[in-house]
Amino acid sequence: MEMKKLGFGLMRLPQTNPEDWSSVDMEKTRAMIDRYMEAGFTYFDTAYVYHGGNSEKAFGELVAKRYPRDSFTITTKMPVFMTKSAEDYERIFNEQLERCQVDYFDYYFLHAMGRSVYGAVQEQKGFEFMVQKKAEGKIRHIGFSWHDDADMLDHILTDHPETELVQLQLNYIDWENESVQSRKCYEVCVKHGVQVTVMEPLKGGALVRLPEAAADILKEANPDAGNASWGIRFAASLNQVMVVLSGMSDLEQVEDNISYMKDFQPLTEGERETIAKTVQIIGDSIAIPCTACRYCTSGCPKKIAIPEYFSLYNNQKQFGLLAGLATTYGNLTATHGKPQDCIGCKQCEDHCPQHLPIVENLKLVAEAFQM
């Protein structure tokens, strides 16, 4: 099947009750799915936990039950942050097959992999489970979604060359971000010859709701292109990227994405320069002007990942406390001191070329995340 590069992420579906994430509006979702497939798109992405389990069920009812099996591909994920034993894998996997109403998954991922869960995944033989299911014909391609740094990604891909895909948080504002490390993680995937699927190309909608000055630059460059198109096309223009997910919530978003992805054109050099100007404007508004030189971390008695925490804080202030930020924060605290562990010795401030009040800024980070 020839696959277009726009994937339908089934995690922000319309709801009948805005206060209840599990209350998927099936009629609105049906209309969105039908329009997406009518336009020639085929890739759906869901997970065990999305919409309280009702995302997988909605896929089963609205796609698998209504369309030929060879007209779509489906990705779902094992919630490794919930599993307690190897037996949980078999139980959850069989439940997912039943929910999605399919006999096999085209792509199957370990969900939200990172150093904080890798030990448990190894102990529970998560990779071996996927390889076995692939041998049984119940999975076609295996991989994992990623929420950690490039060094750890390199380590896992070295350990597990059977990995075929990695799902990365990748967008133009996180491309050089020290906490998310979109570029570095992408380059690790290129190094290992692993294909990439992209999540959060619009950073949870933040790259649609841009500062006015940044939005004006995009509008001047192309008056007919919406803010979302720049983010999705940025990710889709990367050679190693197989598909870019859009968590669409209404029919208008589906139509908008179709308008520029049905006959996708990679970014031109001029468009890349326009995005770079936009990134610069957003960067100028950051709360803590840390350059991530890392002079501050050498000799820290509590081993606090100061630049990474500041990067997360800047993201939180600009875009809100998105799920990916909370996950990255949790991964950092698993192997580094927490911001609130700071003892105020201030040797970090003595080494900071930017002369930042690091101790006070760490207090701001601790308050913002409260974890």
Domains of the chain: 6-276 (3.20.20.100), 306-369 (no CATH)
- Higher per-residue confidence, 371 vs 17: 17
pLDDT of 1 over the 60 cut: no
Q: What are the counts of helices (DSSP H) followed by strands (DSSP E) for the chain?
A: 15, 8
Q: What is the pLDDT at residue 147?
A: 85
Q: What is the mean pLDDT of residues 331-354?
A: 90
At 282, list the tokens: 């957003």
Contact 285, 279 (CB under 8 A): no
Can you tell me whether residue 106 is helix, strand or coil?
A: strand
pLDDT at residue 321, rounded to an integer: 63
Query: pLDDT tens for residues 102-124?
Result: 999 999 999 999 998 999 999 99
| Per-residue pLDDT tens digits for 137-151 | 999 999 999 988 999
Average pLDDT over residues 309-329: 81
Percent of residues in the chain assigned helix, strand, coil, to nearest 5: 50, 15, 40
Give the mean pLDDT of the chain: 93
Collapse the DSSP code of 145 into the 3-class scheme (helix H, G, I; strand E, B; otherwise coil) and give the result: strand
Contact 196, 165 (CB under 8 A): yes
- pLDDT on residue 328: 87
If pLDDT is split at 50, 70 and 90, which confidence band does 371 have? low
Average of per-residue pLDDT across 273-302? 84
pLDDT tens, 53-68?
999 999 999 999 999 9
Q: What span, in angstroms and rounded, lies between the C-alpha atoms of 260 and 255?
A: 9
Q: Is the pLDDT confidence value at 23 over 60?
A: yes
Place of tokens 């034993």: 85
Element (H, E) at 192: helix 182-192
Where residue 322 falls among pLDDT bands split at 50, 70, 90? low
- Closest CA relative to residue 70, chosen from 22, 2, 135: 2
Residue 354 pLDDT greater than 80, yes or no: no
**Range with the poorest average pLDDT among 21-25, 73-77, 207-211, 353-357:** 353-357
204: pLDDT confidence band, cut at 50, 70 and 90? confident
Is the pLDDT score of 338 beyond 60?
yes
Lowest-confidence pick of 5-14, 48-57, 206-215: 206-215
Q: Mind listing the pLDDT tens digit for each residue in 205-264? A: 778 888 889 999 999 999 999 999 999 999 999 999 999 999 999 999 999 999 999 999
The pLDDT-based confidence of 160 (bands split at 50, 70, 90) is: very high
pTM: 0.82
Percent of the chain having pLDDT more than 90?
76
Q: What is the pLDDT of residue 353?
A: 63
